[in-house]
Amino acid sequence: MIDIKNMNLKHPCFTKEASHTNARIHLPVARRCNISCNYCNRKYDCLNESRPGVTSEILSPQEALKRYLFYKEQLNNLSVVGIAGPGDALADWELTSETIRLIRQEDPDVLLCMSTNGLKLPALAPSIIEHGVSHVTVTVNTILPETGAKIYRYVNYQGRKYTGTKGASLLLEKQLEGIRYISQKGMILKINIVMIPGINDNEIPDIVGKMKALGVYITNIMPLIPVKGSEFENLPATNIRELSDMRMNCQTQMRQMFHCQQCRADAVGLLQEHGCPANAARQVV
């Protein structure tokens, strides 16, 4: 039986107190993504932005191990290794799993986590568990295919692209199946929800309720960042007061994350330090 409370005391994304004391490192080894979100514009070799999908470079598993060992020597409070892109950790599972294997071989005690859109979660869940991953974050922006059709440009599943409600329905089916499975296996789950004005904002309490029913530990309602070059670049950013109210409202249903920094895919250090110390990072790969 997993000691959830003890493990979360070391994970800054799952416990606010840990965000002040425990460092994490994101290793950007997952280049590919199997869905296209209208709010996303992944960037490589980018040093000036701090948001999900951004990294200064893509690492091989061997380079990722080297970077981890470097920062383990520098940071005595480094307790978590995460694979959070810049693509999807499961879309590039071969690279993600090899990175995890190499790190686990060197450090059997570090917490391992990953972020995914959930499309391949049912198929790869047994392997994720076998590799010793304890924390998984899945981004679920809607439980309505009609809304999903507005958020996702396409879903690429087993070499075929699906669009509209058909693609959104397929993604939702796989998300719910995968979340249910790994929750039943005792893994610790966080669900990210991007609050998109005029698109899914009225549905978020229903999403949170569904996630609670599936055994999710915590949900993280995040603001939309209108990114230049994305389909949603002209949408308004999520109003911070409305975001706070939504989190407070949903807290009556289940645990909410209030301290998310929407970190880069190569972030290192405490949660507040969500940028990548790029010069140091480049010196070790």
User: Does residue 281 sit in helix, strand or coil?
Assistant: helix
Of 131, 139, 186, 6, the closest CA to residue 79 belongs to 6
Task: Give the Å distances, CA to CA, from 44 to 52, 53, 54, 58, 85.
Answer: 11, 8, 6, 7, 11
* SS3 assignment, position 223: strand
8-36 pLDDT, tens digit per residue, is: 666 767 776 655 567 889 999 998 999 99
Q: What is the DSSP letter of 35?
A: E
Cis check for the bond before 86: say yes or no (omega within 30 of 0): yes
Q: Which position has the token pair 């569904």?
A: 210
Helix spans in 9-155 (H): 61-74, 93-106, 121-130, 145-151
Task: Record the pTM.
Answer: 0.88
pLDDT digits (tens, 9 = 90+) for 130-178: 999 999 999 999 999 999 999 999 999 999 999 999 999 999 999 999 9
**CB-CB contact of 11 with 79 (8 Å):** yes
- The yes-or-no verdict on residue 283 having pLDDT over 80 is no
256-279 pLDDT, tens digit per residue, is: 988 666 677 788 876 665 455 544
- For 85-122, what is each residue's pLDDT tens digit? 889 999 999 999 999 999 999 999 999 999 999 999 99
- CATH 3.20.20.70: does it fit domain 4-283? yes
Residues shown for the chain: 285
Query: Domain locations in the chain?
Result: 4-283
